[in-house]
Structure 1
Amino acid sequence: MTATELKSAAILNLLKAFLETNEGLQIRKKVNLVYQFNIALKKIGFDEVIFTIDLKTGQVTKGAYEGGKPDAVFSLKDEDFIKLATGKMNPQIAFMRRALKIKGSLSAAQKFTPDIFPKPSKM
């Protein structure tokens, strides 16, 4: 599977540009954590594409985090990532329903909210 098959890839590219804006810089200062996303096309744990969202540097990259351990690692399906990023799914509810798996710091994971993503009107 390639990243181009993921609908999430388009949102992550928009996020990369958004993190360079003034609003994006404010979010980076506020959160200042590194997240790794393991995004699966159909089933968590299979054929995952890994992305790193580094809110310390503002970088969004394909591949595992190379600067040590990320603060939190999220595993979820492509369609659920889109729902989270667009605010249509609450991260806590997704976690309770097992649509979202988290490794690492739960307090860091709780700081990852849909507010991190640019609003659709700005896209």
Structure 2
Amino acid sequence: MEKSNLKSAELLEQMRIHLASGAGEEVGFVYQFNISPERLGVDEEVFAVDLKKGVVSKGPCEGKPDATFCITDDDFMAITSGKLNPQMAFLTGKMKIKGSSSRVQ
């Protein structure tokens, strides 16, 4: 995957390695993460997580993702470490979701 200065890029790289083994394909959705270093929507880096093909890549999804998450790097790491509840992140505006909320698992 292309070089990134985001802390979350390392976690997404680990996810890419894990998904290469075939894990996650049963989910069958494609997600896009727009991750900003400090403020939502500013200097964001885009990552695609394709749980149909089991692929994580830097850059936008091919076609339309089932859901797009806009979040800061610190909040992404807080959610993935269990320090921030994803529902609270959404309700307080720390995370924005575009797309079908029924496809967010």
Is TM more than 0.5 here?
yes
Instruction: Tell me how far 1:3 sits from its aligned partner.
Output: 5.1
Instruction: Tell me how far 1:63 sits from its aligned partner.
Output: 0.3
Q: Which runs of 5+ in 2 are unaligned?
A: none
**Distance in structure 2 (CA, Å) of the matches to 1:55 and 1:62:** 15
2:102 — aligned with what? 107
Select 1:49's aligned residue among 29, 45, 52. Answer: 45
Instruction: Describe the SS at the equivalent of 1:60.
Output: strand
Instruction: Describe the SS at the equivalent of 1:92.
Output: helix
2:65 — aligned with what? 70
2:7 — aligned with what? 7
Alpha-carbon contact 2:20-2:55 (below 8 Å) kept: no
Alpha-carbon contact 1:51-1:60 (below 8 Å) kept: yes
Select 1:38's aligned residue among 23, 34, 52. Answer: 34
**Distance in structure 2 (CA, Å) of the matches to 1:93 and 1:28:** 27
Aligned residue pairs total 104
Q: Which runs of 5+ in 1 are unaligned?
A: 112-123
Deviation beyond 4 Å, 4+ runs, structure 1: none
Instruction: Tell me how far 1:4 sits from its aligned partner.
Output: 2.2
Instruction: Describe the SS at the equivalent of 1:16.
Output: helix
Aligned-partner residue type, residue 12 of structure 2 = L
Alpha-carbon contact 1:38-1:74 (below 8 Å) kept: yes
Deviations 1:34-88 (A, max 9, x none): 000000001001100000000111100000001x100000000001111122222
Identical aligned residues as a percent: 46
Greater fraction of residues in helix = 1
Aligned-partner residue type, residue 25 of structure 2 = R
Alpha-carbon contact 1:80-1:89 (below 8 Å) kept: yes
Q: TM-score, normalised by structure 2?
A: 0.91
Aligned-partner residue type, residue 8 of structure 2 = S
Alpha-carbon contact 1:36-1:73 (below 8 Å) kept: yes
Instruction: Describe the SS at the equivalent of 2:60.
Output: coil
